[in-house]
Structure 1
Amino acid sequence: MIPELIKYLASAGQSAPSADNSQPWEFVLSEQSIELFIDLKKIKPSCFDIYHPAILLAIGAVIENILQAANWISVKIDYSDCLCSETGKCAVFYLAGMPTGLPENARAHPLFTRCTNRLPFIKKALPDRVVHEMLSFSNATCQVLLFQKKEQLNQWSEWIRAASEVRFQTPSVHEWFGQSLKFTPREVSANEGLDVNTLGLPFGGKYFLRIIRSWARMRVLNKFGAYKLIAKMEVANIKNSSALVGLIAPLDTESAIKTGQLMEKIWIRLNELGLSIQPIFVVSDQLYRLREKQIPPVLSQQLTDLKSQLQSELNITDSFLYMLLRIGYCETEPVRSMRRSIK
């Protein structure tokens, strides 16, 4: 029988963010350990493989959640990461002692209330103490950059728009997105994927997404500039944000996982301070696909220009932009994405 403590730690890992709420992981539980796997059948090699930054960031976030949950209830655990592309095995967590009962406040940890908010934010400057705390998260692996000035947010809006235009013209990425969308209560009840109610869509937005869900339709609409319209909608809320946070680190497996841990640590902390967060991954995703030659040749130049601008403006020639976080204050509570239950 699996102890409640082990189930609790696994549920903390299950609460981590992932690309389009895909939750590409599986947990194997025993009396004193948790094994973390990436479900290789769930990720599509044509869109995400096990070494894609989106998957590695998710692994890091799961690890961070389990470690924080254990520390919260004063339980000592050891872990080792061991990413294997053949089995999908990522990490193993071991209890240092025999399992104990759960304290009453176990689920009071803020990681269990961490969430994404895609709604418009109130234009409000960040307090100095928040700015200083965020910048202090930089470590030997990952650098934290903060963009608050109007001209910086405007520039990022243009960069995000450029990357989004390519994204919505790339068949494999669009097909993944379309398959992730969940419209009906039955689809949402699977507790994974993108519940359209979490997207903060304007009037008519759900109907529009139903139309473009199919790549066959999107391809036709793109002849009339649909990709430009959607990309413009993608950046509509950037300029009213309090700031954007960029996470930059070397492009390798270990650094990506550690950046995922740091991302989750920052996300949990900012939510705890009353700030709303929206992850913006499209720039990172498209630049990685450019590097891996997964972008249609006709679209490559737009991303090559974007890459050059980023490297010049941010001085990140030897590093990779793993994630942007849109942060700010929101008066409306978002609809939360659901998670699968631990089996």
Structure 2
Amino acid sequence: MTEKSPPAGPGEQHRALLDAAVRAPSSHNTQPWLFRLEHDAVHLFADRTRALPVNDPDDRELTISCGCALLNLRVAATAAGLRAACRLLPDSDTEDLLATVHLAPGSDGAGDAALAGEIGRRRTLRKRFDDRAVPPAVLRDLLRAVEDEGAWAVVVDGEAQRQAVASLVSEGDAMQWSSPHWRRELAQWMHPRRRGDGLALAGIAAPLAQVVVRTVDMGTGVGAKDHALAENSPLLLAIGTAGDGSEDWLRAGQALERLLLVACGHGLQAGYLNQPLQLPALRHRLQHQLGHDGFPQLLLRLGYCDDPGEASPRRPLDTVLVAADDGRHETR
């Protein structure tokens, strides 16, 4: 008779949930999250030591990234047979506490459980997609995924609208690359893969890439490449929210990650063209192009790719855990 392994204790089970959470995407792969575990709860904190003050001065994208991690945590909990009751911004006196997830036996989300298998298969693509079109039924699933998390999505459709949005992307590239401060911040997050975070490069290439990025304005070339990606992607869409505060950003992140997991289940991957969202003047113009009264938060392209490549590196779980007696991350 084969001896069965003992069931995972609460600590091991919680760590399995966190392993799913930290696979979420984040700007420059900064992984700006921390977690504190209790027997029946997980607390999610923003790690603002990993912020991008030039690229993301209001921590908007940082909070969106944490929202992505939160959605992964919820999905993994459902797959583990747990009910996850999530409360956003539970303590107004603790700014860094973004969410508390209370866990209890019993799951009522079969659909979410099915998504858990896609967490490890999701990738961020920077190359061009195949030319295959996204079927209407798949598009409906993607839009529903966003709406299920309290956000909205607008498909960028038609040649004129695509051209206008693509031009905003390339204009954003030019503005960002012209800034030495922005280039310096980007270079700081170019790391050898063994570091476990940042924009991973082969070990010998990282120092050279950092020097080039810090000193050379490549906005024209990067802008032309991104303009072509925006023009030619099978699907280009924006995700937005009714408001523009921390809770809205958390909802946008959860909507993004749910969309990404649903997309992955259909064989799709995604890449980001968020330059217009990172510059206030361009964000307003993008809002006008989308024809929506709400606040656009993300611009992404989706499509098919037979070889999505390897996942971006992640830091060890122990580096994102904070102790219950850590005074910097108290909960009340």
Superposition map of 1:263-278 within 5 A: 263-278=256-271
| 2:177 aligned with 1:191 | no
Where does residue 228 of structure 1 map in the other structure?
220
Q: 1:7 aligns with which of 3, 15, 22?
A: 15
Aligned-partner Cα distance in 2 for 1:106–1:248: 25
Question: CA 1:308/1:54 → structure 2, altered by over 3 Å: closer, same or farther?
Answer: closer
| 2:232 aligned with 1:240 | yes
Question: CA 1:106/1:189 → structure 2, altered by over 3 Å: closer, same or farther?
Answer: farther
Q: 1:71 aligns with which of 59, 73, 78?
A: 78
Aligned-partner Cα distance in 2 for 1:14–1:106: 18
In the TM superposition, residue 173 of structure 1 has moved relative to its aligned partner by 2.5
Q: 1:123 aligns with which of 99, 113, 131?
A: 131
In the TM superposition, residue 44 of structure 1 has moved relative to its aligned partner by 4.7
Aligned-partner Cα distance in 2 for 1:67–1:138: 15
Work out the percentage of aligned pairs sharing the same amino acid. Answer: 21
Aligned-partner Cα distance in 2 for 1:46–1:325: 21
TM-score (norm 2): 0.80
Please say if residues 154 and 290 of structure 2, whose CA atoms lie closer than 8 Å, have aligned partners that are also in contact.
no
Please say if residues 67 and 251 of structure 2, whose CA atoms lie closer than 8 Å, have aligned partners that are also in contact.
yes
Where does residue 307 of structure 2 map in the other structure?
332
- What residue identity is the alignment partner of 1:38? A
Superposition map of 1:82-161 within 5 A: 82=89, 88-96=96-104, 109-139=117-147, 141-161=150-170
| 2:273 aligned with 1:280 | yes
- What residue identity is the alignment partner of 1:20? H
Where does residue 257 of structure 1 map in the other structure?
250
Please say if residues 68 and 257 of structure 2, whose CA atoms lie closer than 8 Å, have aligned partners that are also in contact.
yes
Please say if residues 154 and 239 of structure 2, whose CA atoms lie closer than 8 Å, have aligned partners that are also in contact.
yes
Count of residues in Structure 1 that have an aligned counterpart in Structure 2: 299
TM-score (norm 1): 0.78
Structure 2 alignment gaps of length 5 or more: 1-8, 107-112, 319-332
Where does residue 213 of structure 1 map in the other structure?
213
| 2:30 aligned with 1:22 | yes
Question: CA 1:81/1:313 → structure 2, altered by over 3 Å: closer, same or farther?
Answer: closer
- What residue identity is the alignment partner of 1:110? E
Please say if residues 71 and 254 of structure 2, whose CA atoms lie closer than 8 Å, have aligned partners that are also in contact.
yes
In the TM superposition, residue 63 of structure 1 has moved relative to its aligned partner by 1.2
Cα RMSD of the aligned pairs, angstroms, is: 2.8
Please say if residues 84 and 102 of structure 2, whose CA atoms lie closer than 8 Å, have aligned partners that are also in contact.
yes
Please say if residues 114 and 268 of structure 1, whose CA atoms lie closer than 8 Å, have aligned partners that are also in contact.
yes
- What residue identity is the alignment partner of 1:257? L
- What residue identity is the alignment partner of 1:212? V
Superposition map of 1:168-207 within 5 A: 168-182=177-191, 187-196=192-201
The DSSP-based 3-state class of the residue aligned with 2:232 is coil
- What residue identity is the alignment partner of 2:262? R
- What residue identity is the alignment partner of 1:192? D
Please say if residues 153 and 243 of structure 1, whose CA atoms lie closer than 8 Å, have aligned partners that are also in contact.
no
Q: 1:166 aligns with which of 163, 175, 184?
A: 175
| 2:56 aligned with 1:80 | no
Question: CA 1:161/1:207 → structure 2, altered by over 3 Å: closer, same or farther?
Answer: farther
Question: CA 1:94/1:138 → structure 2, altered by over 3 Å: closer, same or farther?
Answer: closer
In the TM superposition, residue 39 of structure 1 has moved relative to its aligned partner by 1.7
Aligned-partner Cα distance in 1 for 2:55–2:231: 30
